[in-house]
Structure 1
Amino acid sequence: MPGTTYWNAGERFMETVNLSYPLSENVVERFAAPQVLALGQFDGLHLGHISVIKAAISLAREAGLPAAVMTFYPHPKEVMKKGDYDGYLTPPAEKERLLRELGIDYFYVVEFNEAFSKVSPEQFVAGMLLPLNIQTAVIGFDFHFGHKGAGDAGMLCELGKPQFTVHTVPPFLIDGEKVSSSGIRKWLHEGRVDLAAGWFGRPYLVRGKVINGEKRGRTIGFPTANVEPSEHFVLPVKGVYAVKAQLEGEDRWLPGVMNLGVKPTFHEGVTKPSLEVHLFDFSQDIYEHELTIELISYIRPERKFSSIDELIAQIGRDADTARELLS
C-alpha cells in the first residue's frame, strides 16, 4: 500500500477490493496499513450515509491517511429472504461511481452469504477489521453488525481497543425527520420522487440499456425508448413521470416523459413492469445504448384506456405537463 505522501500528490483514484471472511493473507499483505474506514451497508448512499462517509474522509485527510469504505454485497435482506426487500436504491456500480466522486481511496465490498451471516461480532472484528490495521472506524448512530445484529457502537469500541477508535455520526435530519433508506423506499412506493430526491441529495435514477420493444409508440406519434434496467434497482410506483435522460458518453440531459408499468390498454395479465421513455424533440437511433433516467416528478398513476384515441390524447397531456415541470 502506498505511503501517506501519496495521498497529497497527483490525482486521486479509488480502488475497489472484493473481500470475503476471513481475510486472505494476500489481502492483508497488500492493504493492511493505517486508514480511516467508514463501515455500513450504505444502501442508497443518501444524505445520512454521505454524512458518515464525509466524516471518514475528513478524519482521514486530517491524519494524512487513506479514506476507505466497507460495505456488504449482496444485501443481507436479499440473502436471508427476510422483509420486503425489493431491490437496491443504489446498486453496486452506481454506489462505486458515487464513492469515487466523493474522493474515497479504497472501497471494500465484503461478500455477504449465509455463512457470513453467522459470524459473531467478535469474529468479524478479529477476522475483518483488525487485520486491515484501521486507525479509526466511522459508523452511523444505529450501526449494528455480526450475527443477528448483536454488535453495536459500544461493542465495536471495546473490540477495537487498543488498535482503533470509533467515531459515531449522529442521525441526519431534514425538517426534524431522520433520513433513512426505509423512508426513501416509502416515498418511491408512493410516487413521491421529489421527496426521495430531497433525502438522496440528488434525483432518483434508473440506468439501463435501450432494447427493442413493441414499436407501438412510433405508430401513435410518441416514439419511446424501452429501457431494461442494468441492475436490480428499486422501481417506484407504476405511473407516468417527468424525467431527464442522459445517453452514455454524453454530457447533455434530455427532457422527456416516462411510463413505468404494464400497459394495461394493450395487455392483460402482465406483471413485470416496463420502462418506456419518450424524449422530447429527439429522433436519434439509440438501440443498445445505455440510458440514465432521472425521475423528476410523478404525474399520474398508470391506467387502462377505453380506446387508442383516448390514450393518445392523454399522452399528449402528459407530455405537456412534463415539459412544464421540467422547464
Structure 2
Amino acid sequence: METIQNISQYKDFNHHTVITIGTFDGVHLGHRKILERLINSAKKSGLKSTVLTFFPHPRMVLQKDVDIKLLNTIEEKKQILETLGLDYLIIHPFTKEFSRLSATDFVRDLLVNGLKAKKIIIGYDHRFGRNRNANIQDLIAFGNALDFEVEEIPAQEIDDVSVSSTKIRNALLEGDVETANNYLSYAYTLSGTIKKGKGLGKEFGFPTANLHIPESYKLIPKTGAYVVRSNIEGKSFYGMMNIGFNPTVDGTEKSIEVNFFDFDGDLYDKKLQVEILHRIRDEHKFNSIDELKAQLKKDKAFSLDLISK
C-alpha cells in the first residue's frame, strides 16, 4: 500500500482507480466489508483500490469540535489499512478552503482528473461538495457525464458501520473491552511515547512505563486496570495497565501506566503500542500503600492466569 498525503501528489497515471471515501475510524468489521468489496472490485476490473480519507476530521475544522474522540490516530489507521491489501491510501488535508469546493470541482478535478477514478463505491447517504449539497444521485449524474461508474452501498451496510462505530466508542468508555475488540476484530490499541513519571511504581515493586499520547482526539477507555500486550523489539510482552489518577497517592493528573511482566529494559522516550486485552477492575483509592500493593499482586495473578488461558 502506498500512502499519499495529498490528492495532488498522486502520480500513477498509468492506472485508473476504484475509490471509496470516508473516515473509516476504527477500520472495524463493518468497514472491512466495504473495503473487501473495494479490493475485489479493483482486482476484477484491473483498477487500483484506493481509499480517500481526510485529516483533520471535518468536525475538528468546521465545528471546532475539540472534544471529538476517535478510535484511531492517523498513524494507527494507516497501519491497519496496510494489512488489508489496498493499493493506495490518500490522506487529503481537510481545510475550510477545501470544504468550499463545489461538487463539480471535487468530482471533476480531484476524483476524475486527479485520482483517475473509473468507479466510486459509496454509501446511499453520502453527501459532498460545498455545504454538502450534493448526493449520490448527483454523483451518478457526474459519472454519466465524466465516464465513471457509481456503486451504491445499501442502507443496511451503512447502518451497520454507524452502529458498530457507536457501539465500539460506548463500549470502551464503559470499559467493555471484549465487545469493542469483537467489533474491531483486533485489540484496541493505544500508541504513544514513554515518558518519565514519578517513579512510585518502582518503589512499590511494580515499575511502570508512562505512556504519553500526544493526539488529544484519541479515545482513552474508562479509568481502571487492564491486561495488555506490547511488541517490544520483536517480542511480545504482557502486562497490566492502569488508566486513571492514582488516588491512593493523591494523584491529580490522568495517566496511563503499564507494568510489563518479565521485561527489564529501558523504554524511556521510545514509541510503544499497547494492545488492550481485558479489563480487570475499576480504579480505587486504597486506605494505605500496603493495601494498594496487595491489590496489585492480585491484579498480576489475575492477569497471568488470563494470559495462560
TM-score (norm 2): 0.89
Q: CA RMSD in A?
A: 2.4
Deviation at 1:120, TM superposition (A): 3.5
Cα shift readout 1:107-137 (whole Å, capped 9, x = no counterpart): 1111101222233333321231121221111
Task: Find the partner of 1:198 among 176, 179, 182.
Answer: 182
With over 3 angstroms needed to count, the CA separation of the structure-2 counterparts of 1:88 and 1:177, relative to structure 1, is: closer
Look up the equivalent residue of 1:159 and give its one-letter code: F
Deviation at 1:32, TM superposition (A): 7.5
For residues 231-310 of structure 1, the aligned pairs below 5 Å read 231-232=215-216, 233-247=218-232, 249-250=233-234, 252-270=235-253, 273-310=254-291
Look up the equivalent residue of 2:208 and give its one-letter code: T
- 2:1 corresponds to 1:18: no
- 2:157 corresponds to 1:165: no
With over 3 angstroms needed to count, the CA separation of the structure-2 counterparts of 1:225 and 1:29, relative to structure 1, is: closer
What secondary structure does 1:107 align onto?
strand
Q: How many angstroms apart in 2 are the aligned matches of 1:146 and 1:312?
A: 58
Cα shift readout 1:276-322 (whole Å, capped 9, x = no counterpart): 11112222222222221111111222222221111111111222222
TM-score (norm 1): 0.84
Cα shift readout 1:128-181 (whole Å, capped 9, x = no counterpart): 11212211111234433233433333332222224211122344499x896432
Contact 2:20 2:52 in 1 (8 A): yes
- Provide the residue aligned with 1:213 in structure 2: 197
With over 3 angstroms needed to count, the CA separation of the structure-2 counterparts of 1:160 and 1:104, relative to structure 1, is: same
Q: How many angstroms apart in 2 are the aligned matches of 1:51 and 1:96?
A: 17
With over 3 angstroms needed to count, the CA separation of the structure-2 counterparts of 1:155 and 1:320, relative to structure 1, is: farther
- Structure 1: stretches of 5+ with no match in the other structure: 1-13
Contact 2:31 2:161 in 1 (8 A): no
Q: Identity over aligned residues, as a percent?
A: 35
Contact 2:240 2:303 in 1 (8 A): yes
Q: How many angstroms apart in 2 are the aligned matches of 1:222 and 1:268?
A: 17
Contact 1:32 1:133 in 2 (8 A): no
Deviation at 1:84, TM superposition (A): 7.4
Contact 1:51 1:169 in 2 (8 A): no
- 2:34 corresponds to 1:52: yes
